[in-house]
Amino acid sequence: MASRVEDYALVGDCRSGALIGRDGSVDWLCWPSFASPACFAALIGDSDNGRWLIAPCATPSRITRTYRENTLILETTMETAEGAVRLVDFMPYHKGPSHLVRLVYGVRGRVAMRTELIVRFDYGRLVPWVTRLDERTLRAICGPDMLVLRTPVELRGELLRTVGDFTVSQGECVPFVLAYEASHLDCPAELDPLAALDETTAFWSEWVRAAGDAGGGEWHEAVVRSLITLKALTYAPTGGIIAAPTTSLPEQLGGARNWDYRFCWLRDATFTLLALMHCGYYEEAAAWRMWLLRAVAGHPSQVQIMYGLAGEHRLTEWEIPWLSGYEGAKPVRIGNAAALQTQLDVYGEIMDALHQARVGKLAPEADAWELQIELLAHLEEIWMQPDEGIWEVRGGPRHFTYSKVMAWVAFDRAVKTVESFGRSGPVERWRSIRRQIHDEVCTRGFNAQVGAFVQSYDSKHLDASVLLIPLVGFLNASDPRVRSTVDAIERNLMRDGFVLRYDTAAAGDGLPGGEGAFLACSFWFADNLVLLGRMADAAQMFERLLALRNDVGLLSEEYDPRAKRLVGNFPQAFSHITLINTALNLVRTQKPARQRAKASTSQDAAAD
């Protein structure tokens, strides 16, 4: 059985990532990229679906772990009656074959250890052919995939598993190096694990140093850890940033809301860009913008809400019948059918992200404005249509309030680009459409009986996405309708101090079961408190959210207040992005929330 979500830590090389439990088991790893089929899939199955365990033979009496300071190098200390060992796990950042390095250090006494390597390609389905190349090297091949393990430990085969027993004494280091390569190529050259450790330490330390005084005040450590996590979820060859490195971790334990998050969502674009730029990472911000421009290039009618790591369009969703699911949550899904949905808000995200890139003085891209004009021309034709909304519901299209707000953002940022950066375009027509959308949202998206902006036109259901209304500048935070909306959400969508996206039972979203509190919505709520001047309440909310991080500072997508557990895919980029922005909103004079809102020309807000 897999560990609890919060008992995992991530190591990665900005191409792929492994989840390692407190027990020393690597239960999830997709190679050679985040989106590749897993070779260790115990996370959403069982040990027979692939894992790699290194642990003391005796059950540890105490386990502690941490990331080496300002790195993605995991150090797990396990204590037994015999002594103590430290397991150091990392994936070196370089352009050659991908490696997972595991070093076992003797800290105290003499500890009997065991290792169990179970390789199962194609998400736990295929058993490889394993051969010994020499006394230190094993090779596992199946179809296009090859893994090569090098270690001085004597290994043997048992029941289609590779196992080994060894001891480690104080001061000793026993290395294990696992490498991936395509099976038609030569085995990867041998890697010096200790030199790789030094190089990986230097890489992450240098990368974090670029942030300088990134901010965060008393929460600086949390901001830095979130930045490292965001970098780890970046696919270095293209600059795309995945939502999470996992698939099918349920939003409700035992439930069916299990989605594949190993893709790049456009809805995250502006928040990601602001987080990176505000913390000094302009190179990563520029790479993300370039990924965005490449992904959406083409006919405007074919823009999707998400893409693959390199901008792939086809993300066909299918179900795996042979995996039991995380704690029995089924189905296990690969791919994501939501890629085919129409979500009008992505046009606003694209326009806002590219506008913020200009405000942040990223080097201009010659074709960007021409592409934006074409996207706006298409949006002129479709903004009045219903869509599936930011939460990707599967209950049929509606006129979602947030979707219309972001359509307004698209035209607003176009007007602002003309006014502030001298670009040419049909600005008077854009102003007219902007006004039309604003009037419609204020008339049909606000329910006077509920006293709040609601999920969709003429409905009575609350939705936390409308917390973004003041953050994007649609209305000022001081507007009575915004204040009453925040109050209504606080009364009705709060669970144990955290915010639900919406009431899944009442809203009828076409999906079975429920879900936990959505962490990004809770951070947005704190941002609204900042804009309302409720700084003490905002800080208190932020502290409650930080307390949900696991022992190495990672957050998933959601939190189950009843079970008091993290749920959803893990670690979740959006949770860490919003953590960064909220921390900066709390401590900086130049706040990301105010910067994004200020991007609005605000004539509409003033008129209402």
Domains for the chain: give ranges and CATH numbers.
5-185 (2.70.98.40), 215-607 (1.50.10.10)
Q: Rounded CA gap, 43 and 153, in Å?
A: 26
> Pick from 118, 101, 145, 114: which is nearest to 46 by CA?
118
130-143 burial: b if 16+ Cβ within 10 Å, else e: beeeeeeebbbbbe
What one-character DSSP code corresponds to residue 357? H
Taking alpha carbons only, the member of 382, 374, 71 closest to residue 228 is 71
For residue 200, give the H/E element and its range: helix 193-209
74-79/83-90 β-pairing: antiparallel
pLDDT the model gives residue 601 = 52
For the chain, how many residues are written? 608
The string of pLDDT tens digits covering residues 492-508 is 999 999 999 988 776 66
* Beta strands in 183-289, from DSSP E residues, in sequence order: 234-235, 240-241, 264-265
Q: Which residues are CB-contacts of 394 (< 8 A; sequence separation ≥ 6)? A: 388, 509, 510, 511
Q: Are 531 and 479 in contact (CB under 8 A)?
A: no
Query: DSSP label at 211?
Result: T
On whether the CB atoms of residues 230 and 275 are closer than 8 A, the answer is: yes
Q: Distance (Å, rounded) from C-alpha 189 to C-alpha 187? A: 6
- What pLDDT is attached to residue 607? 43
pLDDT, residue 608, reads 44
- Omega before residue 97 within 30° of 0, cis: no
CA distance 131 to 483: 67
pLDDT of the residue at 308: 97
Starting at the earlier edge strand, list the strands of the sheet with 565-567.
517-518, 558-560, 565-567
- Tell me which DSSP letter residue 197 carries: H
Pick from 17, 551, 2: which is nearest to 243 by CA?
Answer: 17
213 burial (CB, 10 Å; 0-12 / 13-18 / 19+) is exposed
Cis peptide before 364 (omega within 30 of 0): no
Reading the block at residue 570, the tokens are 């893990």
From 67, 58, 55, select the one nearest 23 (Cα to Cα).
55
**pLDDT tens string 541-588:** 999 999 999 999 999 999 999 999 999 999 999 999 999 999 999 997
H helical segments located in 279-344: 282-296
> CA 265, CA 307: separation in Å to the nearest integer?
7
Please list the ranges in the chain whose pLDDT falls under 50: 602, 605-608
The SS3 call for residue 25 is strand
Task: Please enumerate in sequence order all residues whose Cβ is within 8 A of that of 537, keeping only pairs 6 or more positions apart, or say none.
Answer: 529
